[in-house]
Amino acid sequence: MKSTIITVQSQTAGEERTNMTTALFPGSFDPVTKGHESIVKKALPMFDKIIVAIGENTSKKTMFSLQQRLQWLQDTFKDCKNVEIDSYNCLTTDYCKKKNAQFILRGLRDTADFQYEKNISDINTMLDSSIETVFLLADKQESTISSSFVREMLLFGKDVQMFLPKDVIIPKKDISD
Ligand code: ADP
């Protein structure tokens, strides 16, 4: 079941495009997982462009460096020409304005995600009501995957490759703490 349907206006060949739909998929991606990859791939037909961007302005301490996380995102979406990878250190709504993104894309695994995401969406709407948050449901096989679970497994020396996009390889030596 899809939670939101977006209608993209059709276009005549050669006509100049003034209604580009751009969505921002923000997150920590520490590390990017098959769950994140799946949400972006499901959303590709809905938007002209998806910006997958790492928000740096949180107080969260990450396991992997910004540079490493950006590289893994580049590797994951290297074949998706409408996906741009970036990072930002301002409010998400301000970054949307800067990039002309009308939508924020988020994934939902369960009701806990829904509650958390709804609060963030409400705050973002208060900050800028022109930006709409679009939620997509995780597929069953990815609904239990989370970056925090992957990090936990790594700390206990477990193999996590089955949870990661095929081009994301995490050798144990890359774990900083
Ligand atoms: P944040 O640090 O903002 O929580 P994450 O990198 O953990 O960012 O996640 C970014 C987005 O991806 C969030 O909307 C989150 O709900 C979604 N997400 C994370 N894991 C999955 C998954 N397995 N399936 C679908 N969506 C997911």
Its pTM stands at 0.88
Whole-number average pLDDT of the chain: 89
Residue owning the nearest CA to atom 21 of ligand 1: 35
Single out the residue of 61, 39, 46, 43 nearest to residue 165, CA to CA. Answer: 39
Substitution candidate for ligand 1 out of 147, 151, 160 with most atoms within 8 A of CB: 147
User: Where do the domains of the chain lie?
Assistant: 22-174
> In the chain, pLDDT over 90 holds for what percent of residues?
82
User: 3.40.50.620, 3.40.120.10, 3.40.50.2000, 2.60.40.10: which CATH number matches 22-174?
Assistant: 3.40.50.620
pLDDT bucket at 59, cuts 50 / 70 / 90: confident
The answer to whether residue 138 scores a pLDDT higher than 80 is yes
Please state the rounded mean pLDDT for residues 52-62: 87
Cα(107) to ligand 1 centroid in Å equals 6
Catalytic residues: 36, 60, 109, 147
Ligand 1 site, CB within 6 A: 27-29, 33, 35-36, 39, 106-107, 109, 113, 117, 138, 142, 145-147
Per-residue pLDDT tens over the stretch 72-99? 999 999 999 999 999 999 999 999 999 9
